[in-house]
Amino acid sequence: MIYNAMFLCGLFLMLIATRSSAEELMLRTPLVPARSATVYAGMNARMQQVNFEVGDRVTQGDTLMVLTRRDLLMKETAARIALQKAQTLQARWKVLHDKKLISDQQLENVRFDAEVAHCNWVTARLELDRTAIIAPQDGMVVEVNVKPGDWILAYTAVARVIDHLDLEVHLLVDEDMLNAIHKNMPLSAVPTADGKHALPGRVVGISPVIDPDSGTCKVTGLFLNAGKYVRPGTLVDVTIITRDTRSNGENQ
């Protein structure tokens, strides 16, 4: 929600573009995370524990939170016990079969029961595993929307994780400037609060669609490791070094 608001704010700021020269296009916009993920609860349950706070760094696969569902725990326990019994019975009947005390069909029936018990346990285990809410990517926790003891509904947004290092900008560029812009074109971004240190970046995407209302096209610029120097949400002046194709045509 925070970064969606930043992006909408940036769209208003980007409506005004300043051309400092025939070869430069300057726009003002916020830096936003290049990768972010909203984390949702997968079921209705009580929140048992929250393992991370806002500002903590996480690794993909870390357990962010744990929900409590006693019914699923009891189901998994019962399925595990049933599996153990079926496997023990299978082992005993295998010994009897080797001694030719039971038929092949009897041993096959026991094997089938053991396989069914194993499938039931796997299903119960997968359901129980869903009570653990896992970090979908490496990054930083920027939102935690719940606390232990809360009753959580399925598909509730419980947290948000961003890649705080790689940042990007979304620029609205006038249609008549698009011919001078291409992928991998270099960019520079100067924080408005600093005004001195430029961050290097490049164009990584150009939308194929022109907004009919504003006559602009969205251009995405990527700034690798910019999060080492500025925070996500920092307002920057982005400069695109272009070439004036109209002037080149006149010179020819």
pLDDT, tens digit, 9 for 90 and up, residues 42-79: 999 999 999 999 999 999 999 999 999 999 999 999 99
pLDDT band at 241 (very low <50, low <70, confident <90, very high): confident
Contact predicate 31/248, CB 8 Å: no
- The DSSP secondary-structure symbol of 198 reads P
Helix (H, G, I), strand (E, B) or coil at 103: coil
Residue located via tokens 């006038």: 174
The token pair at 121 is 């346990």
Contact predicate 184/201, CB 8 Å: no
Q: Tell me the pTM.
A: 0.72
pLDDT band at 2 (very low <50, low <70, confident <90, very high): low
- Quote the pLDDT of residue 194: 79
Residue 95 scores a pLDDT above 70: yes
pLDDT band at 243 (very low <50, low <70, confident <90, very high): low
The token pair at 8 is 């909408």
- Quote the pLDDT of residue 1: 53
- Quote the pLDDT of residue 34: 94
Residue 116 scores a pLDDT above 50: yes
Residue 6 scores a pLDDT above 90: no
Residue 193 scores a pLDDT above 50: yes
CATH topology of domain 2-35+163-251: Elongation Factor Tu (Ef-tu); domain 3 (2.40.30)
pLDDT band at 196 (very low <50, low <70, confident <90, very high): confident
- Quote the pLDDT of residue 249: 41
CATH topology of domain 37-69+131-159: OB fold (Dihydrolipoamide Acetyltransferase, E2P) (2.40.50)
pLDDT, tens digit, 9 for 90 and up, residues 214-235: 899 999 999 999 999 999 999 9
- Quote the crossing angle between the two packed helices 104-129 and 70-98, to the nearest 10°: 160
DSSP 32-74: EESSEEEEE--SSEEEEEE---TT-EE-TT-EEEEEE-HHHHH
pLDDT, tens digit, 9 for 90 and up, residues 141-172: 999 999 999 999 999 999 999 999 999 999 99
Mean pLDDT over 29-41 rounds to 95
pLDDT band at 177 (very low <50, low <70, confident <90, very high): confident
